[in-house]
Chain A
Amino acid sequence: MLAEYLPILLLFLVASAFAVGSVAVSSLVGPRQPNPTKLSAYESGNEPLADVPGTRFSVKFYMVAMLFLIFDIEAVFLYPWALVFRELGWFGLGQMALFVGILGVAFIYEIGRGGLEWD
Chain B
Amino acid sequence: MEPSTPLWVPVLQTLVVFAYFLLFTALLIWAERRVVGRMQSRIGPNRIGPGGVLQTLIDGVKMFFKEDVTPSMVNNPIYTVAPLVGVIAGFLTVAVIPIGGEVTLFGEEFTLVVADLHVGVLWVLALSSLHVYSTFLAGWASNSPYPLMGGIRSSAQMISYEIAQGLAVASVFVYAGSLRVSDIVAAQAGSGPIAGMPGWYAIPLFPAFVVFVVGMVAEAGRPPFDLAEAEGELVGGFHTEYSGLRFGMFMLAEFMSVVVMSAIVVTLFLGGPSGPTFGLPDAVAWVMPVFWFTLKTAAFVFFFILLRGALPRTRYHRLMDLGWKVLIPVALVWVLVTAAWVLVSEAGGISAATRTWLAVGAGVIVIALLLTGERQTARATDADVDAWDDPDRDDPDRDAKPRAPHDEEVAP
Contacts and interface: CB of A to CB of B under 8 A. Distances in A.
A86 B342 contact: yes
Interface residues of A, number: 68
Interface in A37-62: 38-44, 48-53, 55, 57, 61
B88 A15 contact: yes
Contacts of A55: 145, 148
A30 B244 contact: yes
Main SS at interface, chain B = helix
A26 B64 contact: yes
Contact of A86 (B22, B143, B346): B346
Given A41-B241, A57-B152, A89 B343 contact: yes
Nearest to A78: B170
Contact of A22 (B173, B178, B179, B245): B245
Nearest to A50: B145
A78 B63 CA distance: 45
Interface residues of B, number: 84
Interface string B1-13: 1010000001101
Contacts of A116: 320-321, 324-325
Contacts of B241: 41-42
Given A7-B114, A50-B412, A61 B63 contact: no
B84 A61 contact: no
A30 B115 contact: no
B78 interface: no
Nearest to B160: A64
B92 interface: yes
A19 interface: yes
Interface string B79-103: 0100110011001100100000000
B285 interface: no
A7 B95 contact: yes
Contacts of B329: 104, 107
Interface of B: 1, 3, 10-11, 13-15, 17-18, 22, 63-73, 80, 83-84, 87-88, 91-92, 95, 114-118, 122, 142-146, 148-149, 152, 155-156, 159-160, 162-163, 166-167, 170, 173-174, 177-179, 235, 240-241, 244-246, 248-249, 316-317, 320-321, 324-325, 328-329, 332, 335-336, 339-340, 342-343, 346, 380, 384, 412
10 contacts: A3-B3, A8-B117, A23-B249, A26-B65, A38-B69, A41-B73, A48-B144, A57-B148, A79-B122, A119-B380
